[in-house]
Amino acid sequence: MSETILAVDDDIDILELIQMSLEAEGFDVITANDGMSGLEKARTHSPDLILLDLMMPVMDGFEVIGKLKADEQTRAIPVIMLTARAQTHERVQGLHAGADDYVTKPFDLDELTARIEAVLGRTLPTKYINPLISTMGDWFTEEGVEQLASHLEAAAMIQQNLIPKQAPNVPGFDIAGFLRSSMTVSGDFYDFIPLDNNRLGIAIADVRGKGIPAALLMVMIRTILRLICREETSPAAALKRINDLLAIDTDPDLFATMVYGILDSAAKTFTYSSAGHCYPLHLKNGGTEVDELKEGGMLLGTFGHAVFESETIPLAPGDELLLYTDGVTEAERKSDETFYGEERLAAILESNSHQPAETFCQTIETALFDFSGTDHRDDDVTIVVIKATDGKE
Amino acid sequence: MFETSISHNDVPILRIDGKIIGGAANALKREMDKQIEQGRGGLVLDMARVPLLDSSALGIIIATLQFLKKMNAKLVLLNPQHTVLDVLQVTRLNTILEVYSDEESATSAFGS
The answer to whether the CB of B44 falls within 8 A of the CB of B106 is yes
**Residue A123 pLDDT > 60, yes or no?**
no
Give the CATH H-level superfamily of domain A153-388: PPM-type phosphatase domain (3.60.40.10)
**Residue A315 pLDDT > 50, yes or no?**
yes
In single-letter form, the type of residue at position A340 comes to Y
pLDDT band, residue A393 (cuts 50/70/90): very low
Class of domain A4-134: alpha beta
Specify the pLDDT at position A8. 95
Task: Tell whether the torsion through CA atoms of A301, A303, A305 and A309 is positive or negative.
Answer: negative
ipTM: 0.81
Where exactly does CATH 3.60.40.10 map onto chain A? 153-388
Candidate from A209, A253, A297 with C-beta closest to B63: A253
Task: Tell whether the torsion through CA atoms of A338, A343, A347 and A348 is positive or negative.
Answer: positive
The answer to whether the CB of A204 falls within 8 A of the CB of A258 is yes
Specify the pLDDT at position B49. 94
A361 or B54: which leads in pLDDT = A361
Average pLDDT, whole number, for chain A?
86
Number of domains in chain B: 1
| pTM score of the predicted model | 0.69
Give yes or no for a cis peptide into A125 (omega within 30° of 0). Answer: no
Residue B47 is classified by DSSP as: E
Specify the pLDDT at position A379. 82
Among A253, A278, A378, most B C-beta atoms within 10 A, so best to mutate, is A253
**Residue A170 pLDDT > 80, yes or no?**
yes
Give the pLDDT mean for B76-94: 93
Pairwise CB contact (< 8 Å): A252 & B30: no
Please give the radius of gyration of chain A, using alpha carbons only, rounded to the nearest integer.
Answer: 25
Residue B53 is classified by DSSP as: B
Q: What is the DSSP string of A318-354?
A: T-EEEEE-HHHHT-EEGGGTEE-HHHHHHHHHHHTTT
Q: Which of A221, A220, A184, A230 is nearest to A203 (CA)?
A: A221
CA A249 to mean position of chain CA atoms: 23
Q: What angle do CA A190, A258, A196 make, to 5 degrees?
A: 60
Left, alpha or beta for B42 (phi > 0: left; psi -120 to 50: alpha)?
left
Any idea what the CATH number is for the domain that residue B69 is in?
Answer: 3.30.750.24
Q: Which domain holds residue B92?
A: 2-108
**Residue A155 pLDDT > 80, yes or no?**
no
Q: Report the range of poorest mean pLDDT among A282-296, A357-371, B6-20.
A: B6-20
Question: What distance in Å separates the CA atoms of residue A147 and residue A180, rounded to the nearest whole number?
Answer: 25
Among A28, A40, A44, most B C-beta atoms within 10 A, so best to mutate, is A44
Q: Does the beta carbon of B83 lie under 8 angstroms from any beta carbon of chain A?
A: no
Q: Which of A262, A55, A40, A62 is nearest to A168 (CA)?
A: A262
**Residue B85 pLDDT > 80, yes or no?**
yes
